Structure 1
Amino acid sequence: MSRTDKHAPHYVQLNDIGAPALARHDHTLFGKPKVQTRVVRDRSGKVKWQDEPIVMQIAIILRWRPDLVTGTLRSEMLTAQKIAHQALAKGSSPKDYIDTGRTRRAKVTREVTLGRYADYCTAGVATHRDGRIRGQRKLYAPCENELTPEDWGTTWGRGRFERKYRVNADGRLSSRTAVRATRGRLTRLADSGEDLDDIDYDISH
């Protein structure tokens, strides 16, 4: 798939020399390991699942309305509210999180260390798509570059509806319809003998 420079992926535009970008600094990551959470699978490739407790804030639990539900959910809500009241009586804050006594199915995950963050500011440094610094195998950039909102809008291709109604279009550029109409108006004025030097127009795009 061919792309123009304007519609290249954002990570390609950011690595271009002189690309308009905004720096997003996060110096708290200096020297820390780069960790990623991955799903654990068995030998056949299926995702492993486990039952994990549901932890919620006390204030949210106390706002529940058990009278609006019936069956097992009603009894579980009443049990969770009882646990919340007991936690408040022991001195807990309404903002504290407690075990509600309920469980849910969740994927088994593990943390994998991919590398570490650089111990210096990396704003303006060329990076790969996954955040690694170019030329460094396991060194990641703590400070990232971002395209300006105008250039970010031109990164992705637009569908027929978006092109027709100028949805997500670059507001700095004139539409093709406006350019075509302006050129036609100027052509008619020139054919009628008007002096175009006194007319205010812009069809540079």
Structure 2
Amino acid sequence: MRLVIARCTVDYAGRLSAHLPSAQRLIMVKADGSVSIHADDRAYKPLNWMSPPCSLKEDGDTWTVVNKAGEKLIITIEEKLHDSSHELGVDPGLVKDGVEAHLQELLADRITTLGDGWTLVRREYPTAIGPVDILCKDADGATVAVEIKRRGEIDGVEQLTRYLELLNRDPLLAPVKGIFAAQEIKPQAKVLATDRGIGCVVLDYDALRGVEDDKLKLF
């Protein structure tokens, strides 16, 4: 990674045009070829950038970054204050803490994710064959059993089916519907769940945590 702090102007020419007037900024050039320009605010969001694949050509104090669509980012350096390169190596990537227990806790706290007017009865509702992840009521007051997985596969649907068969024997709960919730649901599992009248919900882990989308957006 190359880090340059400089007083510069930046011009973008592509589907539209934009201009950043002269100011001190951080220019970040990553090993993947991306180039981004940062101010000393806006948290992680750059003022402007060019995503890879792209090429960088330095002609004196003028840098021209071009992507595969022919869009250009032209950086004119007026005064260079710092220029350094650093080898970061291969990053192991983000390890999310979204284990099933945490997903269960988050969904229980935000049970209206499943629908307006839904209410929580209990987490880890005990049965003779094991605890149901979440037992809740929908807006009409019907009982719903929720099975939560990080990755939804056929065995998870089978597990929920067994819970539903048992819960529906209890006259105080019946009829009990089922929802299979996961961060990712395999097509075969979805087909089986639908065939058995079980609803499927794909959980957005970051949305449950209240974390904003961190995808870069132009301007």
Q: Select the structure of larger CA radius of gyration.
A: 1
The TM-score with structure 1 as length reference comes to 0.22
Please identify which structure carries the higher helix content: 1
